[in-house]
Structures are given as C-alpha cells and as structure tokens.
A and B are shown apart, each in its own frame.
Chain A
Amino acid sequence: DGGITQSPKYLFRKEGQNVTLSCEQNLNHDAMYWYRQDPGQGLRLIYYSQIVNDFQKGDIAEGYSVSREKKESFPLTVTSAQKNPTAFYLCASRTDPATGVNTIYFGEGSWLTVV
C-alpha cells in the first residue's frame, strides 16, 4: 500500500545526544514536511522540502536539521541544541499543486522523549 512510514514509533534521547527520525514515502510526492505536535497546540512546521536537495526552515527550525537526498526520504535530526525536544513528530507529504490535488498526507508519527 502507498503511504508514509515513520520510524521509530518511540525514541528516547539522553541529554546531549543527537537522534534521527526516519520518514519514507512511496506516494511519489514532491513535497515533504516535518511537524511537531505538543498537547493542546496546533501542528508547528519544523522544515519542509519541495524538491530533492533543497529544503526550507519552518517556524521552529532551531535545534533541528534535515536532508533530502532522495525523493522518497526526508529524515529529521533532533540535535542537542533543541532544549525541549519531547514531543510527537509528524512527517507529511503532498504532490505538486499543479496536479490540482493539494491534500497533505501524514505518517503515523514518532514519539520522542528526553530521559
């Protein structure tokens, strides 16, 4: 089935560690996104990428980094510079709006906890 796969589902980070969340999509979508979700708040955009080898900062990019070496993959690294990383992280993708389809599709999310 086509979809977005995030892994791991649960991840624990020690102080000072960098951790990487994986996101893979087989929908042939051009654009990919990373959002952070905290209780009682709307999704906040961390980074997005519209094409391979190009990405843009979102509203809360500090302490995070990404890469887009392949169309299918958009991993997110949470660095030690991110002081409050405990959250639910969602990867999303969408196709080129020129196709007339704008829907953003989400993965199942990854829980990151600082221990």
Chain B
Amino acid sequence: GESVGLHLPTLSVQEGDNSIINCAYSNSASDYFIWYKQESGKGPQFIIDIRSNMDKRQGQRVTVLLNKTVKHLSLQIAATQPGDSAVYFCASETSYDKVIFGPGTSLSVIP
C-alpha cells in the first residue's frame, strides 16, 4: 500500500546550524505535500506545503524541496533554535480524502 516515511527517526543539531529533515513517499500520483511540527502532547501545526508543480517553496526560516523523480521531499530549517525542538512529519495527498502521514522525525536542538 501507499506509504510515507522519514529517513531518520531522530535528529540532533547544534543551535544555529541548519537542519534538514527528509521524507520519501511511494505514490507517484501524490500531488500535494505538507510538513507539520508537533510538540509533545499537542496537535500538529502546519509549517509549509508544496504542490507537485513546484520543486521549491520558502517560508520564514523554512524551505521545502520536492524531487518528484525520486519521490522525495525535504524540510530545511535555517538557524535552528531551541524552540524548533519537536517531531516533524510530512504528509502526501493523492486526492481530497486520501492523505498519508509519515511517522515523524524527532528534532533535538543542542544549545
């Protein structure tokens, strides 16, 4: 079946460094992708999204890159801060009612 997965379950980075979190998806028909941040015991928060007709989108300190050829997307966080410590997960959508969520990468920021 369809799957969305992250390459690393945990990631530790030094404060001030850039973070890169990766995600792979299986369904080539996926046309919309979302990154979420989830702090412990809270609901996921939307970070950034990208459609399949784009290969890059930037937000405030975050950039999402999409490589449809290898079915891979990444989230880059610039100048990582302690407040960025959380679980990050990606989601891919094939249709309005078919959204697949990945298991998440836990990001720890070392002061």
Interface residues of A (CB under 8 A from B): 4, 6, 31, 35, 40-45, 48, 50, 56, 90, 97, 102-109, 111
Contact A43 B101 (CB under 8 A): yes
Please indicate the chain A residues that have their CB under 8 angstroms from the CB of B109 in the complex.
Answer: none
Across the two chains, which residue of chain B brings its CB closest to A88?
B41
B93 within 8 A of A: yes
Number of interface residues of B (CB under 8 A): 23
> In the assembled complex, how far is the CB of residue A29 from the closest CB belonging to chain B, in whole angstroms?
13
- Among A4, A6, A41, A109, the residue within 8 A (CB) of B103 is A41
Contact A42 B89 (CB under 8 A): yes
> In the assembled complex, how far is the CB of residue A95 from the closest CB belonging to chain B, in whole angstroms?
11
Q: How many A-B residue pairs have CB under 8 A?
A: 50
CA A42 – CA B38 in complex, angstroms? Answer: 12
CA A35 – CA B101 in complex, angstroms? Answer: 10
> In the assembled complex, how far is the CB of residue B59 from the closest CB belonging to chain A, in whole angstroms?
13
Interface of B is mostly: strand
Please indicate the chain B residues that have their CB under 8 angstroms from the CB of A108 in the complex.
Answer: 42-43
CA A94 – CA B100 in complex, angstroms? Answer: 15
Interface string of B35-67 (1 = CB under 8 A from A): 010000111111001000000000000000000
Please indicate the chain B residues that have their CB under 8 angstroms from the CB of A104 in the complex.
Answer: 34, 46, 91, 99
- Among A6, A48, A106, the residue within 8 A (CB) of B97 is A48
Across the two chains, which residue of chain B brings its CB closest to A44?
B101
Q: A48-B97, A102-B49, A103-B49 are in contact. List 14 more A-B contacts (CB 8 A).
A: A41-B103, A42-B4, A42-B103, A42-B104, A43-B89, A43-B101, A90-B44, A97-B96, A102-B32, A103-B34, A104-B46, A104-B91, A108-B42, A108-B43
